[in-house]
Amino acid sequence: MQKIIKIRNLDCAACAAELSEELNGLEGISDAAADFINQRVSLCYTSQEALDKALYAIAHFEEVEIVDGAPQKKERHLKEIISIAVSAAFFVPALVCDLLGLNEWLVFGLFFASFAAAGWSVIWKTLHFRGLSSFFDENFLMTVASVAAFAIRESMEGAAVMLLYQIGELLQSLAVGSSRGEIKKLLEMKSDSAILLEGENQREVSPDDLKVGDVILIRKGDKVPVDCTLIDGAASLDTKSLTGEAYLKEVEAGAELLSGCVNAGNAVKARVLRLSSDSAVAKILNMVENSSAKKAKPEKFITKFARIYTPVVVLLALVIALVPPLFQGFNFTTWIVPAIEFLVISCPCALIISVPLTYFSGVGALARHGILTKGAVYLDELAKVKVAAFDKTGTLTEGRFSVVKVNGGERALLLAACAEKASSHPLAQAFAGVETDLRAECVEEISGMGLCAKIDGREVLVGSLRLMRERGIPAEPVETLSSVVYVAEDGNLLGSVEIEDKIRQEAHSALQEIKSCGVERTAVLTGDSRARAEKVLKGLPVDEIHADLLPEEKPKYARGLKARGKLLYVGDGVNDTPVMAESDVSAAMGALGSDAAIEASDFVLASDSLSVLPKAIKGAKKTRKIVAENIVFSISVKVALMVVSVVGVAIGGAFSLPIWAAVFGDVGVMLLAVLNSMRMRAKIRA
């Protein structure tokens, strides 16, 4: 069994790692993961007893509180601000007294009061021993640095270390909270209430209480509470929160209204199509909230790196403090400061926090453009794409077919319409407006070729020329570049229906922009004939077309394309599951109501527009670039400061660092890395 537990007051990424390790050690708990950014814990448990143990462990971990099922409180940081203010109130007069050369014990007392005001919570966390794995954290490093500074009578340094550390922690917390707030804005898409119509009466209910088939009233300015179907009239929908597109969408009776849209027109009635838990908004929020579970390689590396790195640097600090004095007349005092600085500088918080925060911000930035991703790992894959392959129908074309010609009489059209009404294939939409009293039974879909059904007790085949020939029905190809649906009854060909589709308006510009993003080659994989495919795709910047493909044949061609570089496949997410699984990364066009679109793809383009695909690629590349910048910057600055600290003392103190500079090497670098991560919040331009 699986559970997501919402929490608050999980202060840092290192604490999250400790909590995860503690939970995974409990009997009956597996795959436990504490998420510092999302403030939640996900875990798999085998029994209620195991879950109770996990809840107890979470509730008793430092200051963490469980808020599952309760509204999240806004982070005020009042306690931290008061601590910093009180500490500063002692630090400033202490500094003035020190500069004026006043009583040494007065100066020491004021600096110590400043240290105590800022550092009491840090010291408490250090003394709250939970095992060696949790001991060597940033609280331990700061406590050692400040206490050691007081021990060698550098009281100003000791107070400054703790005050600067707390200021940096507050700024980092505000920055992370701001980025977290960007994701929380997505929750505003979810409606808190719905108006249920019961005859002539109206009743306000929770969207969770609505059942399929219920009739609801959506007033002007209301959010659509659940996926529903417009009963009558017309509606004007603001879809910006859902798709990222600013224009209003005009829909007629019978159209599907996705939850999260806002009714910008007159009040309308609609019939509930899906439960609240299955609606578009629920799927969007689920994808975004769970995206942090699938970590990218840099995230996994940083987590493993920190576990090995911290004990190693503690050992190196001991070596620095103890070994050189053995060759310098046992002068331990000289080497204590660089050892402390080495410890402080080495803290890996900048990487532990900034790397997952960048990916988290990247997922949120794409979501604001209507691009939904299942995890950070897919952003990494998308950033490295060199080849993009597309399905034709419903992807490069609108997928809105219409009948243009009937060959063989009206019965062929009526039989085709009767059978196709039971199909979800895009071609079936062409027959939606054909009225018929016929009823189809035992409808069977023949993959990639068509349908077989019983109509009026007779076997009817509706599909491609290949289907007719495989069933031994004599049929000649119709000379046309339109798509042709052949119709046979009891083994005899009745006729055919010609239908056409239009290329998407944005297809040409989107394909050009994709190439400008570093994609070297584009291809189309389609079941259409080559002649029809070339006619429809004429003028598009497509490098190669593979036609006459059955769904099971597409993966073979995808493997060939993968040999040229990372492969992105874009399809409708329903009939393209095999090739999506074969590709390195995949995207589904819209279809938020379709479970297949969500399950099969790594990305969903909620706007159902190719124009956002270049934004997705640019966003993925920007995310990866910022992650690389943070890793290189953090490690470079830390290594440089470590070298200056140690080498400076070795050559007589010519380049020795004050301890506050070491604090900058920890807190300052962490803050700069976090601020750099927040650049992902800037608009992604296609």
Query: What are the tens digits of pLDDT across the range 331-364?
Result: 776 777 777 777 777 777 667 777 777 887 788 7
Q: Tell me which of 184 and 332 has the higher pLDDT.
A: 332
Provide the pLDDT for residue 71: 46
For residues 169-179, average pLDDT: 68
Say if strands 566-571 and 385-391 run parallel, antiparallel, or are unpaired.
Answer: parallel
Q: What sign does the CA torsion over 164, 170, 173, 174 have?
A: negative
Question: Mean of the per-residue pLDDT values for the chain?
Answer: 81
pLDDT in tens, 43-60: 888 888 888 888 888 888
Domain ranges, ordered by start, for the chain: 2-66, 370-392+505-618, 402-500
Q: For residue 338, with 0-12 CB atoms within 10 Å meaning exposed, 13-18 middle and 19 or more buried, which class applies?
A: buried
pLDDT at 486 over 80: yes
CB atoms within 10 A of CB 309: 15
Distance CA 91, CA 98 (A): 10
For residues 4-14, average pLDDT: 73
Question: Which has the minimum average pLDDT: 99-108, 110-119, 293-302, 600-609?
Answer: 293-302
Provide the pLDDT for residue 613: 92
CA dihedral 110, 111, 117, 121 (to 10 degrees): -150
For residues 515-541, average pLDDT: 89
> 3-state class of 648 per DSSP?
helix
CA distances from 635 to 15, 172, 628, 639, 671 (A): 21, 18, 11, 6, 14
Provide the pLDDT for residue 594: 56
Provide the pLDDT for residue 654: 46
Q: What sign does the CA torsion over 221, 225, 231, 236 have?
A: positive
For residues 226-244, average pLDDT: 81
What percent of the chain is predicted at pLDDT more than 90? 19
Say if strands 371-373 and 228-230 run parallel, antiparallel, or are unpaired.
Answer: unpaired
Distance CA 320, CA 309 (A): 16
Length, in residues, of the chain: 686
C-alpha 564 chain-centroid distance: 27
pLDDT in tens, 188-227: 667 788 999 988 889 999 898 999 999 999 999 898 998 8
Q: 3.30.460.10, 3.40.50.300, 3.30.428.10, 3.40.50.1000: which CATH number matches 370-392+505-618?
A: 3.40.50.1000
Q: How close are the terminal C-alpha atoms of the chain, in Å? A: 42
Q: Tell me which of 437 and 468 has the higher pLDDT.
A: 468
* pLDDT band per the 50, 70, 90 thresholds, residue 497: very high
Provide the pLDDT for residue 651: 59
Tokens of 74: 């806004």
pLDDT at 234 over 70: yes
pLDDT at 131 over 70: no
pLDDT at 591 over 60: no
The kind and range of the H/E element at 406 are strand 402-407
Distance CA 544, CA 523 (A): 5
Provide the pLDDT for residue 268: 92
Question: Which has the minimum average pLDDT: 176-190, 255-269, 606-620?
Answer: 176-190
* pLDDT band per the 50, 70, 90 thresholds, residue 134: low
Question: Which has the minimum average pLDDT: 279-288, 467-476, 511-520?
Answer: 279-288
Provide the pLDDT for residue 513: 94
Is the Cβ–Cβ distance between 621 and 358 less than 8 Å?
Answer: no
For domain 2-66, the question of CATH label 3.30.70.100 is answered with: yes
Distance CA 227, CA 259 (A): 5
Active site residues: 391
pLDDT at 390 over 90: yes
The answer to whether the 2-66 and 402-500 domains have the same CATH topology is no
Distance CA 448, CA 28 (A): 46
CATH fold group of domain 402-500: Calcium-transporting ATPase, cytoplasmic domain N (3.40.1110)
Q: Tell me which of 678 and 217 has the higher pLDDT.
A: 217
